[in-house]
Structure formats: structure tokens, C-alpha cells
Structure 1
Amino acid sequence: MGKVYGILGWMNFFSFTETKEKIFSYLPWFILKNKKWDIIKLKNWKQHNSHFIIQINNIIDRSLASTWTNTDIFIDKNQLPKLYPDEYYWNDIIKCKVFNTTSKYLGRVINLISNKYNDILLIHNELKKNNIKKIMIPFINKKIVKNIDIQNKIIIVKWN
């Protein structure tokens, strides 16, 4: 959750789901606060420019809302739609080890980046001694990304 919006306890909220509004169908939300999991009960939400503003139950003013800012929300993975074969959630791909087709270790996936053409795997190689520690590989299934084994957290790519 982002910074406070107004004086009535609203907060800026940024969704990272593919269809931004879809996050509101994955209720309840959870938050880790003071090393304890709490359930967030959403009172209201509105589209605001390129993001949303939300109101949480019992958060009625700016000072209460400020205690919730700069926090991440979580959902139960079982709430997500079932995927078709060869579809993956980004969260499942992060931390996968990446090897090229000749079994050369390239690193671990630390993030995915979306652009209008295709997603990009951001890979960090903690073993490299030279300056090239991060590699960006286009996520083009079957052409560059040859195999994804989520169970064993391994991705095979056609890359040098």
C-alpha cells in the first residue's frame, strides 16, 4: 500500500495483477505487521488515475492510515485461477536456476520485467567474477525459453 490519500483514511494502492482490477476479487488480503499476520477487510476502493485508492475497515483518518503505508499485501495462492499447461505465475519462476542448452549455469531469476512486446527474465549470477552479473533474457516460450521445471526450480534457455 502506498501513501495516504486525503484525510478520511484512504490510501494509494498499486496492483501488480495482469488485469489491475482483478486484485479486488482475491479477497481476503493479508498483511504481515509486527511479525504477525492480519487480515485486511476492505471497505471501499476506487480507480484513481493509473492506480487505485482504498479504504480499510476501521481506518477512519489520515493518522491511522499512515501506519499501514509502505506495506505489501498478500493473498492465499489457492485464490488464483488454475493455469493451463505452459503457463506460470511470476512468483513460481523467481528463484529458478537458469541453464543454457549446453548446461552452462547462467544464474537465478531475481525478477521479471513486463514490456509491450514480451516479458523479460532478470537473472543474477552470483558466481561470475567479471562485471556481468545480471543478464536479461526475453521470455519467449519455445524459442528462447526451452523448458521450465517449476517442481525442481530449473529453466533451460537458448542463450550463450
Structure 2
Amino acid sequence: MSTQHAAEQDITVLGKVTTAFGVKGWVKVYSYTDPMTSIFDYPSWLLNIDGQWRSYKVRDGKPQGKGLVAALEGVNDRDAAVALSQIEIAVPTSELPELDEDEHYWFQLQGLKVFHTDGQLLGQVKELFDSGGGNQVMVISSCAGSIDSRQRMVPFVGAIVLSVDLDEGQIQVDWEPDF
């Protein structure tokens, strides 16, 4: 284990430790990656302990029931594993795989402003989630300048999301404001 000083924008959260698993220091892991086992593609994780990112080598990891469990270097008993409960798991953003030109990580979309094709500002992406069956949904909340104070849920599919411009911080959608 080592301490890493990193700016928040250089870190991407991939999941969290939920609780201990067994008595030998294993932890249960909730992964935000798709597929969930992709979190094991990273040999070291950063855990946010008391506001500081600390590096832990992953000794072993595997599916367990409907979730995942992992053994981390330096975490050798149940008490040490329990101490990591509800701690975020992250990696340096530079370690994420390169995406194709038309692909985006969810964290890149959060905070972008969403405009209708006619130029109306619908709001800002608050979060994204998978509604099942591979369907992603953007939760759009009102922001300064938006047409109303409604929260909208807009499917993130090609027929609706016409463009994403990370440099301009905006997404253009063909989604009626009344929905």
C-alpha cells in the first residue's frame, strides 16, 4: 500500500468496496464497469481513505454469487477488510482504455449541457444509469438558463443523441421538451 497524491480529475472511480468477505481479509466489491469483472483488469486500485487515495495491489479477484470479491495486498484479516467498507475504488484516468471516436465514458458526460435540436437548453447531465438490457439513460436536471425546472430521463441512443461535444461541454438531442 502506498499513498498517492492526485488531483480528483486525474482519478476515475470504478466501484467501491462494500464490506468484508470471510475472515482472511477478502472484500466484497461493487463494480461500475461493464462487464463488472473488468474492474479486475487493473492490477492496482486506488482507495479513498480519509480523503487520500492509497494504492493497493489486487492479489486476487473473482465473481462470487451475484457480485465480486477481491483480496488486496496488506489486507490480511477481517478487521482490515471491514475498515475498507464503503470506500471508493478508482484508477488513474490515464490507465483507462482508449475509446473509439464516437464512444465516451459516463464520467465524461456528467455535467454536460443538453440542448434540443432547436437550441433550447434542456438542462445538464446529472448522472447516467443502465436501465437493463444494455439501455443507458441520462438523468438531466435543470440548470441556469434551462427552459424549465423539470428533471428528464433521456435514453442515450443514436436516434436521440445526435452529437456529443466534450470540448464545448454539450450534447445535442432530438428529444421533445414536453417528455
> Normalising by the residue count of structure 1, what TM-score does the alignment of the two structures yield?
0.90
- Is residue 140 of structure 1 aligned with residue 157 of structure 2? yes
The answer to whether the Cα contact below 8 Å between 2:122 and 2:147 also exists between their aligned partners in 1 is: no
The answer to whether the Cα contact below 8 Å between 1:126 and 1:133 also exists between their aligned partners in 2 is: no
The answer to whether the Cα contact below 8 Å between 2:117 and 2:173 also exists between their aligned partners in 1 is: yes
Find the counterpart in structure 2 of residue 154 from structure 1: 170
- Is residue 109 of structure 1 aligned with residue 125 of structure 2? yes
CA distance in 1, matches of 2:55, 2:40: 14
Answer 1 or 2: which has greater strand percent. 2
- Deviation readout 1:23-55 (Å, 9 max, x if unpaired): 111232112212322101112222101211111
CA distance in 2, matches of 1:62, 1:23: 22
The amino acid that maps onto 1:20 is M
The answer to whether the Cα contact below 8 Å between 2:120 and 2:147 also exists between their aligned partners in 1 is: no
The amino acid that maps onto 1:134 is Q
Gapped regions of structure 1 (runs ≥ 5) = none
CA distance in 1, matches of 2:85, 2:134: 33
CA distance in 1, matches of 2:44, 2:134: 33
CA distance in 2, matches of 1:80, 1:3: 26
Find the counterpart in structure 2 of residue 60 from structure 1: 76
- Displacement after TM superposition at 1:126 (Å): 3.7
Q: How does 1:79-90 map to 2 (within 5 A)?
A: 79-90=95-106
The change in CA–CA distance for 1:154 and 1:129 in structure 2 (over 3 A counts) is closer
SS across alignment from 1:92: helix
Find the counterpart in structure 1 of residue 92 from structure 2: 76
CA distance in 2, matches of 1:37, 1:63: 20
CA distance in 1, matches of 2:67, 2:172: 35
SS across alignment from 1:69: coil
CA distance in 1, matches of 2:88, 2:139: 22
Find the counterpart in structure 2 of residue 29 from structure 1: 45
Q: How many residues end up aligned between the 2 structures?
A: 158
- Deviation readout 1:121-153 (Å, 9 max, x if unpaired): 1111145797x5310011111x21111001121
The answer to whether the Cα contact below 8 Å between 1:26 and 1:80 also exists between their aligned partners in 2 is: no
CA distance in 1, matches of 2:129, 2:58: 29
Aligned-pair identity in percent equals 27
CA distance in 1, matches of 2:44, 2:168: 30
CA distance in 2, matches of 1:104, 1:21: 40
Gapped regions of structure 2 (runs ≥ 5) = 1-16
SS across alignment from 2:88: coil
The amino acid that maps onto 2:129 is I
